């Protein structure tokens, strides 16, 4: 399936399932795409059974309220398109071109107004869930959308492999008990409970919970806590990039040579979390210099 963009003017004949993974994606890495794909694969049989359209989208922000700066949105959008090419994952540009700060609560209100009959799900990590009281109206998100919370495990970088987990996976009850108190009673057992069709349209001023209780699904599946910040810090120096680019320009005829470039020049295994096309884009446009993110 070709890479597509889920825009606000998209409409479907019947109630759809729409899931969103927000973030700066600065840069987008394989962990982001894997998380979105996992949600897509879990929802796909449910969507087919209920005969509903399914949209799972990455929702890049213009700049997080918690960050001072971020890479030009044109670059981040280009990398997102490269990373999601040939996948069913879409890109929603709702927040990308707005003047920062842009708050999630405003976005979910916009989406709920636009899609009053659809099942809306926001995908977040446990670290974000625990910090919701510090977000602008963070605890009110479930008035408009359901939440899918991933438990994130820290990874060990052993012998250039990023597949060893330090943490013992906690059970769902333990994770639930850590949530802000107002959210604990909203936890459900299965993803299916996040996509119960809404039987009647909601008006602009209707609070979702009056017709469809906001739900939270805790996914105890371990997700590697690799951050874009870590990847930025471990990208090659400017001179290394110049050397890599000279080799890449000679060999950019297929993906295998780029994989070889990454394998032999990336000094830190974190860079292997980048899609080869995204890695080449970063090199070609000389992104993430030391000065850019001091």
Phi, psi for 125 (deg, rounded to 5): -90, 165
pLDDT at 273: 87
Q: What is the CA radius of gyration of the chain?
A: 20
Token pair 């479930």 is found at: 142
Show the tokens assigned to 230. 């870590």
- Cβ 183 vs Cβ 218: under 8 Å: no
Phi, psi for 201 (deg, rounded to 5): -65, 145
Show the tokens assigned to 14. 């019947």
Per DSSP, 196 falls in state P
Residues of the chain with pLDDT under 50: 1-2, 8-9, 12, 154-167, 200-212, 238-239, 241-242, 244-245, 247, 250-266, 290-294
d(CA 264, CA 213) in angstroms, rounded, equals 52
d(CA 276, CA 185) in angstroms, rounded, equals 43
Q: Which is it for strands 161-165 and 155-158: parallel, antiparallel or unpaired?
A: antiparallel
pLDDT at 213: 58
pLDDT at 2: 46
pLDDT at 41: 97
pTM of the model: 0.79
d(CA 199, CA 116) in angstroms, rounded, equals 10
Cβ–Cβ contacts within 10 Å for residue 2, how many? Answer: 8
Q: Of all helices (H) and strands (E), which one includes residue 278?
A: helix 276-284
On the CB side of 259, CA atoms within 13 Å amount to 3
d(CA 9, CA 92) in angstroms, rounded, equals 11
Instruction: Write out pLDDT tens, residues 122-176.
Output: 999 888 899 999 999 999 999 999 999 998 654 443 334 434 344 455 678 888 8
State the burial class of residue 198 (Cβ atoms within 10 Å of its Cβ: 0-12, 13-18, 19+). Answer: middle
pLDDT at 205: 46
Per DSSP, 168 falls in state P
Cβ–Cβ contacts within 10 Å for residue 16, how many? Answer: 20
């Amino acid at each position: 399936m070709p890479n597509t963009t889920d825009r606000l003017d998209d409409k479907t004949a019947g109630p759809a399932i729409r899931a969103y993974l927000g973030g700066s994606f600065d840069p987008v890495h394989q962990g982001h795409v894997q998380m979105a794909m996992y949600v897509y694969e879990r929802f796909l049989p449910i969507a087919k059974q209920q005969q509903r359209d399914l949209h799972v989208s990455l929702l890049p922000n213009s700049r997080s309220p918690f960050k001072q700066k971020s890479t030009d949105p044109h670059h981040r959008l280009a990398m997102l398109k490269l990373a999601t090419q040939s996948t069913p994952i879409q890109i929603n540009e709702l927040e990308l071109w707005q003047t920062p700060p842009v708050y999630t609560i405003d976005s979910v209100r916009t989406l709920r107004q636009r899609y009053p009959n659809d099942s809306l799900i926001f995908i977040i990590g446990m670290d974000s869930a625990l910090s919701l009281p510090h977000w602008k109206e963070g605890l009110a998100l479930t008035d408009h959308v359901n939440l899918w919370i991933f438990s994130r495990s820290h990874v060990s970088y052993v012998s250039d492999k990023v597949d060893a987990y330090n943490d013992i996976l906690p059970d769902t009850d333990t994770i639930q008990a850590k949530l802000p108190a107002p959210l604990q009673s909203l936890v459900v057992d299965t993803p299916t409970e996040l996509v119960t069709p809404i039987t009647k349209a909601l008006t602009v001023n209707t609070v979702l919970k009056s017709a469809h209780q906001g739900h939270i699904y805790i996914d105890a599946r371990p997700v590697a806590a690799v951050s874009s910040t870590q990847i930025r810090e471990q990208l090659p120096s400017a001179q290394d990039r110049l050397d890599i680019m000279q080799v890449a320009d000679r060999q950019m005829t297929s993906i295998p040579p780029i994989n070889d470039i990454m394998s032999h020049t990336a000094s830190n295994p974190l860079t292997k979390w980048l899609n080869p096309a995204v890695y080449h884009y970063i090199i070609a446009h000389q992104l993430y210099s030391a000065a850019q993110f001091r």
